[in-house]
Amino acid sequence: MITVSKEDYLKAILEAEGEGETVISATLAHWLKVSPPAVTMAIRRLKKDRLVRVAADGRVRLTAAGRKIARKLTERHHLIERMLSEVFGMEWYQVHDEAERLEHAVSPAFEAKLVAKLGRGRPCPHGNLSEIESPDSRRRRGLVLLSEAEAGETYAVSGIYERDRKLLEFLEARGIRPGAKLGLAERNYDKTLSIRTAAGAMVIGRSAAERIWVSRLPSRSV
């Protein structure tokens, strides 16, 4: 039986892989905010169900069956985020948490209605695709992390890490949201970035800049 808890673990593994992380028990404890013993028990159940494999070095990988379930859940989450934003007008920085609560309750019939209403292929309100991408996949599409961007250039915000509500609210207050333009004025000695957005000139730290994917624009004006 696939419980809500099992779905959460499978999705967390897929999402952590998408962030380029090596998934071990400690990774899951951090992502799901649960204790290490709870993770150990969950992985034991997932192994028994043949949904994950655990290597000798402790790395946890999804089996084909586990990946199928995780992908289905992430697709449903993506659709719910779009519904909340496009149909109900919820703010982009609020929809992730709400979708986390709703994703397990959506029936296949309602999911089909969402697909018919919204279509497929469009990014979620955070600018991310329904198919979870690795950092390498994003770079192949011409994207770079803001933390790696070149000073003196102008960029469009493509996608933002969506699991940190405080980060999303922090960025929204500074005019940094999917589709927004920003100019990178200077890379500072302390690894902060001096940028300009529609909200004005400001400095942001590396930890935030490492969560923002951008694409370079030909114009240098914001």
Surface-to-core class of residue 219, CB atoms within 10 Å of its CB (0-12 exposed, 13-18 middle, 19+ buried): exposed
Residue 166 pLDDT = 96
For residue 116, pLDDT beyond 90 = yes
What domains lie within the chain, and their CATH numbers?
4-62 (1.10.10.10), 68-118 (1.10.60.10), 139-217 (2.30.30.90)
Instruction: Kindly state the tokens that stand for 89.
Output: 């007008």
Q: Residue 192 burial (CB < 10 Å; 0-12/13-18/19+)?
A: middle
Residue 134 binned pLDDT confidence (cut-offs 50, 70, 90):
confident
pLDDT value, residue 111: 94
Please list, in sequence order, all residues whose beta carbon lies within 8 angstroms of the beta carbon of residue 109, skipping any fewer than 6 positions away. Answer: none
Instruction: Give the residue-averaged pLDDT of 194-222.
Output: 91
Q: How many Å apart are CA 6 and CA 66, to the nearest integer? A: 10
pTM over 0.75: yes
The token duo for 22 is 């090596």
Cβ(125)–Cβ(82) below 8 Å: yes
The tens digit of pLDDT for each residue in 11-58 reads 999 999 988 889 999 999 999 999 999 999 999 999 999 999 999 999
Q: Which of 99, 107, 185, 112 is nearest to 150 (CA)?
A: 185
Q: Which residue stretches of the chain are H helix?
A: 4-18, 25-32, 36-48, 64-82, 95-102, 108-118, 135-140, 165-173, 206-209
Task: Give the model's pLDDT for residue 222.
Answer: 52
pLDDT tens digits along 80-90: 999 999 999 99
